[in-house]
Structure formats: structure tokens, C-alpha cells
Structure 1
Amino acid sequence: MFLEFFIWGSWYVTMGTFLGINLQATGSQIGTAFSTQSFGAIIAPFIIGLIADRYFNAEKLLGGLHLLGGFFLFMAYQADSFTNFYPFIFIYMVLYMPTLALVNSVSFRQMTDPGTEFPSIRVWGTIGWIVSGLVISYVFFWDAADNMREGMLKNTFLMAAIASAALGIFSFTLPKTPPKARSDNKINIKDILGLDAISLLKDKNYAVFFISSILICIPLAFYYQNANPFLAEIGVSDPTGKMTIGQISEALFLLLLPYFFRKFGFKLTLIVGMIAWSVRYALFSLGDADQGLYLLIIGIALHGICYDFFFVSGQIYTDTKAGEKFQSAAQGMITLATYGLGMLIGFSIAGQITDVYLQADGLHDWQSIWQIPALIAILVVLFFSILFKNESINKKALNKPIEK
């Protein structure tokens, strides 16, 4: 679990900065590179449903995908232009996104009580992401201003490639996790994509939540794509290391989430999560690398509320609405909608907006850029607040393991 997220955190946070400074990529091109995550999320259910659940042990497929992934990360490390870089990162994300489900499958199949055992395992993923950022900023100093200009950020892909190869080899030593489905079972595309759960959209409340989930991915995409380039461009030192504050916050608020559910209810928890996105971007638009640095730090630290209070809460809400019959299908559907469709739209918009506010001196009008996702988040809050009717959530769901 540590290596799984160490790999992702090693290159994903700084990719926008690397592409802009070292490969002279435009905002739209950077958005296109980040959207490979969305295509990976769309394709992942087919790999899991058609292959992993039928023919191969999960730990072997996990190992094979990470070994292949290490090769394509190494090729991305060697790329000298965006045109050469993009195909490798696209193929890599198609290979990587299925491993998120596979690593969970290997974990759950070895546990007798996932509700109590899984959180202590999953937290190592968050630690892995944090360590990758700290290593980049405080061990190798790859995101120091002079080192970035010299192209040192490309080494993040090499570090990720080595970690991917290590996890690939290590995966073959994991406990045997054979497929549950028989290879002669009839293939059902509806099951694979979670389309059986589409009946949940007949429920007005769930339909409002579903649409809100897609729309709030637009502000989310702005953060993933632009936060690190923004901090680097305005002169914040060790931007990657400072962004790990967001992951620390995420781990802390994950523990507080059940309390907020019980104290304030589902609707208010989601509203607070969405408002946090708007507040974060308002702080980004006001802060700077000197006297306003504390505003940026607060904005980064809000990540726990932004992510946990909406997206993790949404997973729990989806689980309770679906019931036992459609639980897996419903989670597949909401993942496809958010990380697939929602993020795809979000990265496209974020890339175009970033290009619009590129100034003649090669720098960006970040104040104007951050005001746009702040406004979008407020509009989503209004949409959700007006149309979503408050309802109680099954308290048993709060004791289930939470997956990112």
C-alpha cells in the first residue's frame, strides 16, 4: 500500500510544473496529460471485470501491471517533448488505475474483519504519498527553483519507475488471491461498468448528489493540475513538500468524518466539503510567497475537508442507498462518473482557463484563474443545497472501511 501511492505521488503532483517549465507544454496540453487518469478510470473496470475477476490471481496481475508500468514511466522520464511524453503517460495510467482496485482486493481477501483491519493498512498509502513529496523537496531538492529550470523534475518519473518495478517484483510474493468468478461465466458489461445501479438515479436526492459529484470534479481538477505549478511560479520554496500538508490533513479528517456525520448529518457535511473548495481557491487568489504564505498553507491544509467531506462521504452515501444488491455496481458507477467523466471535463476546462490567463511575460494571472473554480464550487453548493432534501444515513455504514 505504501509503494502503491508512493509511486503515484512521486510524479503526479509535480507533472504540471515539469511539463510547463521543461517541455514547454501549454495549459491545454497539461490538462490533456492529467486527463489520462480519467481514461484510466474508464478503462480500469474492463481490466478488472474481464481479466482480474476471471482468469488471473490478483497479486500476479498487480505485479505484471506494475512491471509494465515501470517501463513506461522510464520512457516518460526520457521524453524530450510533450509529443513524445504523452503516449507513455497515457499507456501508464491505463495500466496503473486498475492496480488501485487490485491492491484493495488483495488486502480484503486476507482479512477476517476488514472494517477494523483495513484502515490501518490503507493509511500507509497516504503515508507513501506524503513521503514521496518530502523526498522530492527535502532530500533531492528537485523542485528548488534552479533545479526545476535545469530539468531535475524529470527524475520524479525515474524514482516512480524504480518504485513501480520494486512493487511489481514484491507483488509476486503476496498471498495468493485467485479470481472468484469462473472463466466460463457469461460476461456482463452492465455489471462491469456498474450500470445495474443506474436505477438509483430515479431517486431525486441521489440524482442531485450524482450531478453534484460530477460538477465538483471541475474545481478538483484545477487543484491537481495547477496547485504545484502555481506555487512554483510565484516563488514558494519546496512546493511539493508543502503540498504534503494536504495529505496529512486528509488522514486526520478521515478519522473525524464519522463524528461529523453523526453530529451534523450527511447534507451539511457535503455542503461544508464543497464550500471548502471555494474557500481554498479564494485563499489561493489572495496569498503570495511572502506575507501571504500562510493563506496558501491554510488553503493546502483544507484538502482534508475538501476531499473527505465530499468524495469519501459520497462513497458512504452511495453504499447506503444501493443496499447489498447493488453495492459494488453503485461504487463502480460513481467512480466512473467522477474520476472518469467529471475529471475529464474538469481537466479540459482547467487547461483552457490556464491558457486564457497566460500573460505576455510567460507568467499567469493566478488570481483570476483561482476565482473561476471558486465560483464554480459556490454554484454547485447552491444547486445541491436547494435541490437535495436532508435525509438520515445508515449509521452501520460509518463502521465500514473507507476506500480512496
Structure 2
Amino acid sequence: MNIIKIRLSAMMFLQFFIWGGWFVTLGTFLAQNLNATGSQTGMAFATQSWGAIVAPLIVGLIADRYFNAERILGILHLVGAVLMYQLYRAESFGSFYPFVLAYMILYMPTLALVNSVAFRQMNDPAKDFAKIRVWGTVGWIAAGLIISYGFSWDSQQAIAAGLLKNTFLMGALASLILGIFSFTLPETPPAAALGERLTLRDALGLDALGLLKDRNFALFFLSSVLICIPLAFYYQNANPFLTEIGVENATGKMTIGQISEVLFMLVLPIFLKRFGIKLTLLIGMIAWALRYALFAFGDADNLVFMLILGIALHGICYDFFFVSGQIYTNSKAGEKFKSSAQGMITLATYGVGMLIGFWVAGKITEKFTVADGHLWQNIWLFPAAFALAVFVLFTLTFNKEKAHADEGLLSQGSTE
């Protein structure tokens, strides 16, 4: 691996180390240390969706027109370090929320910026990107292992002592390092300077709206938005659930999901080619229902294997639906609307879909909150039933067709 690839890999490692270092345990911190309600926790997680909605404006209107990608990446992470430090200092939800909202509005655009920096240095992105992007997943895993096995910040004793807030301090330090490091990355001029013209319509995917005239694609689009509701339950509730019922090193164990994601990413092209897009998407959907059923009936004692299996299903849940969905979108869009179509799907899922999902998850969690914790079985049965309903809808309405597994797109798919 040459020096540029090493630097790009380090960039990816830090980018996702930062996110994985606080986002996984956010629900636990809010509930245990800031006494946040289910709705307030949903609001905090929904900042990811607001960031996803605003991100195209920042990247499409600013970064791709006026500034080098590596410079704006550095600035955003330096400001992010300050905001993350403010999260570390927050003592109430009221003082926490404005900073987490500002942070995610600045962080979400950096996901596109690191890809821009990486792609611009590659002669063969289809071959090289996966080898660099995988270091992002390694960074996410490393953060979880450090929290659980390095410092035990997610243990019951540490949480009671208020030590879980140290995850924000760790994130602030990593953000500071990446902010400074970004200015040493290879120069990545704005698209306008290279003769490329990216409009806001491109960034938001508006030019690809015509794809919704295709019945199959419209059904897939609707299902993508709906399946984000069960997805939000995992992001928001998995760590608080595991911690509350007494699973030791919950954050470290949750990294099994990222390991699973990497493994199933390797299987996905073969599966798509052999069985087609409909069956692949359906397996992804039913995996969501199965994982939540496992969470509903598992426990921290004799049935802890059910919880571990539910975590390990993350690779199938995410890769077989969201990554294969990106591939399907790519195959339907054609050359003219590839970028617009991906922008539209991202905005619909991580923007609108997750925004609705976190709101629903917050309301359901609040409804089943009791004096000594939560009625977790009731909470998990809701997304299980919802995912099953989406599965049935898709089974009955989507006509079978094939999509080619575009290796270049496949390598971009992971979002933890």
C-alpha cells in the first residue's frame, strides 16, 4: 500500500472512529445520565437525519463550488471538536441538544467529503475504494472495543459514576486530530474547478424523480422509507437495552454487527447474481423482523445467545437491503441520473425515513417506560411487526427482476 492509500485509510479510520465513539452509546448516556425521555432521545438521534437533509446543501452549494474538499473537511472537524467538547460538558438535555444538532449538521457532510477526497486519488475506484473504506468500519469497531474493553465506560458502575460522557471527550480529541490531519491530505479541488457542474438538483436527487414512474422502483422507494422506521429502533435503543438488562461490555459486543457487515458485503455480489434483487431485498427485510424478535425474547442470562445472534444479523439487515438497494437504484437510473438517484435515495432514507423512524421509536419507547426501566419486549415487538408488514407488502407487490451487482457501487455502500 503506497503512502497516499495509507493516509486515506487513516482518514477513513478516524472519520468513523469519531462517529462510532459516541453515537452507539448516545441512547444510554441520555437516559442514564441526562434523564432524557424517549421523545427527547428520539430528537437527539434525529439530528442525524437533519444533518443528512442539510448535507447536500453544504456539499453541493459550497464544497463542490468554492473550496477544496480536504480543507472544508478539516474546518468542519475542527469546529466539530469544539462542539463535541460542549457535549462532554452538558449537564441537561436542554444544554445538550443544540450542540448535538449543530454537530450532526456539520458531521454528515463530511461523509461525502471523505469519499470525494478518496475517489479523486484513485485510478480504479472499483478496485481500490473497498480496501480504503473498510478502515472506516475498523475505526467504528475500534471505538466500541475501547469503550467496553479499554475503559469499561459502559459498565453499570461507570455509567452511575458519569464516566460515559468521556466518549464525547474521546470524540473531540479524534475530531481535533482528523481536523488537523485533513489539511495534509492530497489537494482535492472543487468540482467547478475541474469543469464539473453539480447543481442543487443533482445533490438532492430531484432530477431522478422520474424513476418513480416505474412501478417496481416506486415500491422499492416506499419500502426503503418504511424500513428506516425499524432501523431507527436499532440505532436508538440497542445499546440502552443491552446495558439496562445487564449484558456486560454491550458496546464491544455490538461491534459484532460491523464485523458481520464486512463479511456479508463479500457475499452480496454472489447472492445478487444468483438469486436476483427481489429475494435479496426480501431477505434483508425479514432479517430486521427476526433480529427484533430475538431481542424481544432473549435475555442477558441463558438466552443471551439470542441477543448476540440479533446483533450479528446486522450484516444481512443492512447489506442485503440498503446496499443492494443502492445497487438496484444504480441499475435503474442509467448513466445520466446515477448521482441524482443515489442522492434521492439517501435523502429519502437517512433524511426523511430516519427522521420519521426516530420520532416513532421515541414515542414507542416513552410509552413502554416504567418506574424501574422499560418493557423491552413490547418495544421490540413493534419494529418486528412493522418490518414483517413491509416484507409482506413488498412480497405481494414487487415484480421479480434482475439487477447487476456493480462492483464500484458495492464498494461504497457501507454506512455502519
Name the TM-score, length of structure 2 as normaliser: 0.95
Alpha carbons 2:46, 2:358 under 8 Å: kept: yes
Question: Where in structure 2 are the equivalents of 1:61-140 lying within 5 Å?
Answer: 61-140=72-151
Give the CA deviation at 1:383.
1.0
Give aligned-pair identity as a percent: 64
Query: Is it true that 1:48 corresponds to 2:59 in the alignment?
Result: yes
Alignment partner of 1:286 out of 292, 297, 300: 297
Query: Is it true that 1:202 corresponds to 2:205 in the alignment?
Result: no
Which residue does 1:327 correspond to in 2? 338
1-structure distance, mates of 2:62, 2:194: 9
1-structure distance, mates of 2:169, 2:412: 31
> Could you list the per-position Cα deviations for residues 88-117 of structure 1 after superposition, in whole angstroms to 9, with x for gaps in the alignment?
000000000000000000000000000010
Query: Is it true that 1:391 corresponds to 2:401 in the alignment?
Result: yes
Alpha carbons 2:191, 2:198 under 8 Å: kept: no
Structure 2 residue runs without a partner (length 5+): 1-11
Give the CA deviation at 1:192.
2.6
Which residue does 2:321 correspond to in 1? 310
Letter in 2 for 1:366: W
Alpha carbons 1:273, 1:309 under 8 Å: kept: yes
> Could you list the per-position Cα deviations for residues 319-343 of structure 1 after superposition, in whole angstroms to 9, with x for gaps in the alignment?
1111110011110000000000000
Which residue does 1:377 correspond to in 2? 387
2-structure distance, mates of 1:192, 1:334: 11
1-structure distance, mates of 2:357, 2:202: 27
Q: SS at the partner of 1:371?
A: helix
> Could you list the per-position Cα deviations for residues 58-85 of structure 1 after superposition, in whole angstroms to 9, with x for gaps in the alignment?
0001000000001000001100000000
Query: Is it true that 1:262 corresponds to 2:262 in the alignment?
Result: no
Alpha carbons 1:319, 1:330 under 8 Å: kept: yes
> Could you list the per-position Cα deviations for residues 237-285 of structure 1 after superposition, in whole angstroms to 9, with x for gaps in the alignment?
0100000000000010011100110121110000000000000000001
Letter in 2 for 1:117: D
1-structure distance, mates of 2:195, 2:287: 48
2-structure distance, mates of 1:327, 1:263: 24
Work out the number of aligned pairs and report it.
402
Give the CA deviation at 1:182.
4.8
Give the CA deviation at 1:194.
1.0
2-structure distance, mates of 1:184, 1:83: 46
Alignment partner of 1:228 out of 209, 229, 239: 239
Give the CA deviation at 1:393.
1.2
Change (3 A) 1:178 1:186: closer
Which residue does 1:276 correspond to in 2? 287
Which residue does 1:30 correspond to in 2? 41
Letter in 2 for 1:326: F
2-structure distance, mates of 1:159, 1:268: 41
Is the deviation greater in 70-79 or in 175-184? 175-184
1-structure distance, mates of 2:373, 2:153: 21
Change (3 A) 1:80 1:183: farther
Give the CA deviation at 1:188.
4.0
Give the CA deviation at 1:402.
2.6
Give the CA deviation at 1:193.
1.0
Alpha carbons 2:287, 2:313 under 8 Å: kept: yes
Which residue does 2:4 correspond to in 1? none
Alpha carbons 1:133, 1:244 under 8 Å: kept: yes
Which residue does 2:223 correspond to in 1? 212
Which residue does 2:168 correspond to in 1? 157
Change (3 A) 1:399 1:95: closer
Letter in 2 for 1:134: L
1-structure distance, mates of 2:205, 2:290: 34
> Could you list the per-position Cα deviations for residues 319-370 of structure 1 after superposition, in whole angstroms to 9, with x for gaps in the alignment?
11111100111100000000000000000000000010011x2310000100
Q: CA RMSD in A?
A: 1.3
Question: Where in structure 2 are the equivalents of 1:293-304 lying within 5 Å?
Answer: 293-304=304-315
2-structure distance, mates of 1:32, 1:124: 30
Structure 1 residue runs without a partner (length 5+): none
> Could you list the per-position Cα deviations for residues 200-251 of structure 1 after superposition, in whole angstroms to 9, with x for gaps in the alignment?
0000000000000000000000000000000011011010000000000001
1-structure distance, mates of 2:189, 2:197: 18
